[in-house]
Chain A
Amino acid sequence: MKKKLFGSLVVSMSVFLLFSAGIYASETENIENNELNAVPIATFSGPTTVNGGESNSWTVGTTSSYGPHTFYFNPGDGTGQKRLDGIGNGTSRVFSHTYRGTSNVKSYTASARTADQLNISDYVYKSITVRAW
C-alpha cells in the first residue's frame, strides 16, 4: 500500500515537473522570439533651441539590450550624419554639434537612430531652432 502510494507520488511529481519544464521552455522561446522580433526604439534628447556658433550636445539612446549598439545623429543642416559604433552594453551616447548662426532664425529637423546587433530603429526627429545673431 505504502509502495503504491509512494510510487504514485513519484509519478505525479515527475509528470508535474515535465509539464512545468515544457511550459517554461515554451515561454522562454516566446520571450526570445519576441525579443528577436523587437525593433529597437531610439530616444533623442537635448536642447531644441540653441545659439549659432555654440557647441551643444544631444543624447541618442536605445531601448534595446542587444548591444553593442550603433548610434546615428543627423543634425539636419547638411553637414553629414555622425555615427558612433559603441562597445559594451552602453545604451546612449552624446553627440556634440555646432549650428551655424545667421541673421535669421533657422529651424532644422535633426534625426536620430540606433541599431543593435539584430535590427535598426526607426528615425526619431526633433526640431532644432537656431537663434539669430
Chain B
Amino acid sequence: MNINLTRKGKRIQLMTLLFVIFLLISLSIQSLNTASKTIEQDIYDFSRGSYDILLRPGDSRTDLEEELGLVEENYLGIGHGGITLEQWQNVLNRDDVEVAAPVAAIGLYTANEITYSLPEREDSVRYTVNYTTTDGVHTYPIGESYTAYSFKDPNQFSTYSTINSESLVNVFSGEYPSFKFPLTYHQVVAIDVEEENKLTGEDFSSLETYGPGLALFEEVPILGLENGNIPLKASIQIDTIDLEDDEVRELKRKYKIKDNSTFGSLSYRDKELNEQLIDEMAEQETVSTETYSLDFSDVITPFYDNYLYADDDYRLINYTENPLEDREIWGVIESGSQETYYDVEPVNYQLIGDKISVKQLGTDEQSGIPYYREIKERNNFVLDGAEVIEGEGFTFYHVGNFEVDDHDDLAASPLGIYGIQPTYLSEDRHTQIQPTAFPGSFITTPAHGLISIDWVERLKGDKPIDAIRVKIAGIQGYDQVASEKIKSMATEFEEQGFTVDIVAGASYQSLKIDVEGLGEVIQPWTTLGAADTILQSWDIVKIILVTFFILVSLIYMVFSFSHLIKTRRKEESLLTSFGWKKENIRKLRLKEWTGLLGIPFILAFLVLLVISLRTEEYVLFLNLIIIFTVTCLLMFLVSLFYKNNQNHPQKPLGNKTVTWQNAWYYRHLVSFSIVQISVMSLIIIFLPLVINLQEKRTVQTTLGGYVHGQMEGFYTVLLVFLFTVGILTLIETLISLWKQRSDEMILFHHIGWSNNQMYKFYLKEVALWSAISILFGAIMSICLYQFLFSQVVNTIIWVGVISLILFSFILVVSFIVLINMLRRTTKYWYKKVG
C-alpha cells in the first residue's frame, strides 16, 4: 500500500520548486565565483573618446607609467621623437584610419624679444625697474635690473638726454621710455593642421600662412595659447629729481660729453665712466616717488610679439587688442630670439611604496629658482651680430592664439598637449602651482605654442614625431566588432615597433606628489586606457542578486519544511491512534522526504551533467552536492526544532489596537513572509538604482573600482524566480494563517459582519506587517547603495513610488487569497449548518 501523508499537489509543487532551486543555486554559485575573480575589462565597456589608439616610439613607457599605469597630463609636450614623417604618412594613408594626428615636441622657446614703453615724462626722472617671477608659492627676482634717467637737454638735437646702463642703449629714450623684459620659455609643439582639426574641431589653418617678411630670417608661424601664463611682473619706481640746466652742463663737462653728443651711449665709449656717472646720479635728491607694478601675465600670451605699452595710468596694454590712435608707438623687436632653446628631460619621479616624490636637481645661480629636471641649452643657429654664421636662421611669427577651455572636449580628452587642470598645494587648494619664467619646472604645461609639422624635420631631425593619435575608420562606437578591429590594428602596430595604447576608458586622476621645496601638491595625471588591464572587478548586481536568491530559497525551504512538519503532526498522531508504531511512522516520513528531496536532486543532477559536458564546468556537481547537503541539514534542524519546541502561552501586547495585537500574536506564522517581503523590497529598489547608474555604460576606471551593470538572461531568470518564491511564501503563509483562524472567520460571519468588514479587519494586519517589511527593505537598499557606490539616493520619491507599488501588489494578492479563504470558510459553514 502506497501511503503518502503529503497531498499529491503539494508534493509535486515542492519537488518542482526544489528541482529549480537546486539547479539555479548551483549555477548561481558558479557565476558568483566568476563575478569575484579579477577580470579583463574590454574595450566595449567604455564610451568612445576623440581617438582610439595612441602610437609612440618603442619603449616609450616610463617607470612610473609601467608601475601605476599613469602619465602626466601633458605627457606629449616633452619628447625626443622616434617616429619619422614617413611612418606617420604610412599610418595616415591606411584605409582603416580616419585620423592620424601627430605630435612633435620641439622644446622650450622664447618669443621674439620685444620692449615695452612707458608714458613720456617731461620732468627729470629716474627709473628703477626690477622683475620677479613666481611658482605660485615663492617669488624670485629674475633678469637684469635697470636704472635709467631722462631729462630735458635743450642743447641736444633730441629733446631729451638719457643716462642708462649699457643694455638700454638703443632701447631707452626720453620720448619712449622703453625697457626689455626677461625672456620666458614656453613649450612648443608641432602638429599637422588638417589632422589636428579633424581630431579636435579647432581651426589651426593660420599656421599655414606666410609671414610679412619683416624679419631677417625665415618666419615660422606660431599660435600662442590664449590663457597661457607669462609668470612675470615688473616693479617700476619713478623718482622725480631736481636737475638744473647748470648741473647738466657740469655733468657734460665732467664726463666729456660734447654738446652734440649724448650721455645715453657713454657706456659704448667708456663703460667705467658710465658706471661712475650712474653712481653719481644715484645721489641726486629725490623730489617725489611713484611706484607701479606691471603684471605681464594679465596682458600678453606666449609668443606675443607686437608692441607693448603702458598707458598714462601705467597699466600694461596689449597693442593687438588696443592699438593707439592718438599717439605713436615705438618698440624694438629681436628676430634672432630663437637662436637658443631648451631641451628638457622628463621629471624623474621616485615611487616609494605608494608615495611619489620629486627632488630638486639644482637652483639657478642668479635667481635661486629651483629646477627639477635636466635642462640642456641648445642652438638652432649661431649669430654674429645680425649675421648667421652657423645653421639656418628662423624666427617665430605670431599669427594668433588658440584656446583651451575648462569644459572643452579639447581639455577633457587625453590628447597629451592641451591639459589645463591646475596643480595646487594639498593643504591649500586655492594656491595654484605654476612653472616660473625659468625652465626646469616639474610641471609640464600644455603646449604654449603650436607650429606646423612642416617645420619639424628642420628643427628636430629626421625622427621628430613623439606620438600619433589614431582614430579608426568605419566604427561608430565600441561594440564587440569594433573592439576586435581595434585590438587587431593595435597588434599590427605593435609588430611595426610602436608602443601602442588603446585609450578606451582613459580618465583623469589627481595624484599627491611630494615636491622638494614646495611640499605636497595635487597634480592632474591621466590613465591612457583601461582596456586589457587586469583590474579587480566586482559585479555588485550579480552578487546581490545571487546572495538574496539563495537566502530567499533557503527561507522558502525552511518555511515549507516547517509547514510540512506541522501539518504532518496531526496525521501522524492519527496513525499512532490507528496502531502504527513510531518506527513505521518514521520510516514513512523518511520515505516521503527521500522522494521529496531525492527526485529533484536526481533530475538536477542529470541537467547539470549535460551542462557540465558542454561547458566543462565540473564544479557544478560540487555545488549541487553542497546545496543538497545544506537542504538535508536544514530539514533535520527544522524537524529537531519542532520536536523539542513546545507551544508556550503568549502574552497579550497590552493596550494596543486589535490589529497590532493580532499581528503580534501571529508573528511566528508570518515571520517567513516578512523576511521574503523585505528581501523583495530591497531587490526591487536596489536593482533599478544600480542599472540607472550604468545606463550609459560609462564605467569608472579609477584603479580598484569598476562596476558592471549588465542584466544577462540568467540573472533575469533568477530575479523572476526570486519574486515567484517570495510571492509563493506570502500566499502559503496567508493560507496557513487564515486556515488557522477559520473559526474566527466563521464567528464574525455568524455575528453578522459583512464581507467588507472582514476584508478590512484581516487586510489591516497584512498591511501592517507588510508595510514594516517594505520599509525595512527600502532603508536597507538605500544604505547598501550608499555603502557600495558612495552615491546619495537623490530620488526618494522614486523609492517611495516603488515601495508603494510593491505594497499595493501585496495587498491585492492578499485580498485575492482572503476572498477565496472567506468564500470557502463561510460556504463550508453554510454547508455545515445546512
A positions within 8 Å CB-CB of B? 52-55, 57, 72, 74-87, 96-101, 108-109, 113, 115, 120
Contact of A79 among B158, B170, B307, B387 (CB under 8 A): B170
Q: Which 10 A-B pairs have the closest CB atoms?
A: A53-B269, A78-B385, A98-B265, A53-B268, A78-B386, A80-B334, A80-B332, A84-B330, A85-B329, A55-B262
Shortest distance from the beta carbon of B249 to any chain A beta carbon, whole Å: 19
Known interface pairs A54-B265, A74-B386, A108-B386; A80-B113 also in contact (CB < 8 Å)? yes
**Does the CB pair A96–B330 fall under 8 Å?**
no
Alpha-carbon gap, A77 to B384, bound state (A): 9
Alpha-carbon gap, A113 to B169, bound state (A): 22
Give me 4 other A-B pairs in contact (C-beta within 8 A), A81-B333, A98-B264, A109-B386 excluded: A78-B385, A82-B330, A83-B333, A87-B324
B534 at the interface (CB under 8 A from A): no
Alpha-carbon gap, A115 to B262, bound state (A): 30
Shortest distance from the beta carbon of A94 to any chain B beta carbon, whole Å: 9
Alpha-carbon gap, A83 to B169, bound state (A): 16
Which residue of chain B has the shortest Cβ distance to A90 in the bound complex? B328
The 26 sampled A-B contact pairs (Cβ below 8 Å) are A53-B268, A53-B269, A54-B265, A74-B386, A78-B386, A79-B332, A80-B113, A80-B332, A81-B334, A82-B170, A82-B330, A82-B332, A83-B330, A83-B332, A83-B333, A84-B328, A85-B330, A87-B327, A96-B158, A98-B265, A99-B268, A108-B385, A109-B386, A113-B214, A120-B212, A120-B213
Query: Which residues 305-347 of B sit at the A interface, judged by CB distance below 8 A?
Result: 307, 323-336
Which residue of chain A has the shortest Cβ distance to B216 in the bound complex? A74
Alpha-carbon gap, A85 to B327, bound state (A): 9
Which residue of chain A has the shortest Cβ distance to B173 in the bound complex? A96
- A53, A57, A84 interface centre (most CB from chain B within 10 Å): A53
Query: Which residues 246-277 of B sit at the A interface, judged by CB distance below 8 A?
Result: 261-262, 264-266, 268-269
B positions within 8 Å CB-CB of A? 113, 157-158, 169-170, 173, 212-216, 261-262, 264-266, 268-269, 307, 323-336, 383-387
Chain B residues closer than 8 Å to A120, beta-carbon distance? 212-214
Contact of A85 among B113, B262, B264, B307 (CB under 8 A): B307
Chain B residues closer than 8 Å to A113, beta-carbon distance? 214
Chain A residues closer than 8 Å to B386, beta-carbon distance? 74, 76-78, 108-109
**Does the CB pair A84–B329 fall under 8 Å?**
yes
Chain B residues closer than 8 Å to A53, beta-carbon distance? 265-266, 268-269
- A80, A85, A86 interface centre (most CB from chain B within 10 Å): A80
Shortest distance from the beta carbon of A111 to any chain B beta carbon, whole Å: 8
- B157, B213, B261, B269 interface centre (most CB from chain A within 10 Å): B269
Alpha-carbon gap, A82 to B266, bound state (A): 21
Which residue of chain B has the shortest Cβ distance to A76 in the bound complex? B386
Chain B residues closer than 8 Å to A87, beta-carbon distance? 324-328
Chain A residues closer than 8 Å to B169, beta-carbon distance? 98
Which residue of chain A has the shortest Cβ distance to B114 in the bound complex? A80
Chain A residues closer than 8 Å to B385, beta-carbon distance? 76-78, 108
Alpha-carbon gap, A77 to B383, bound state (A): 10
Alpha-carbon gap, A109 to B387, bound state (A): 10
**Does the CB pair A78–B336 fall under 8 Å?**
yes
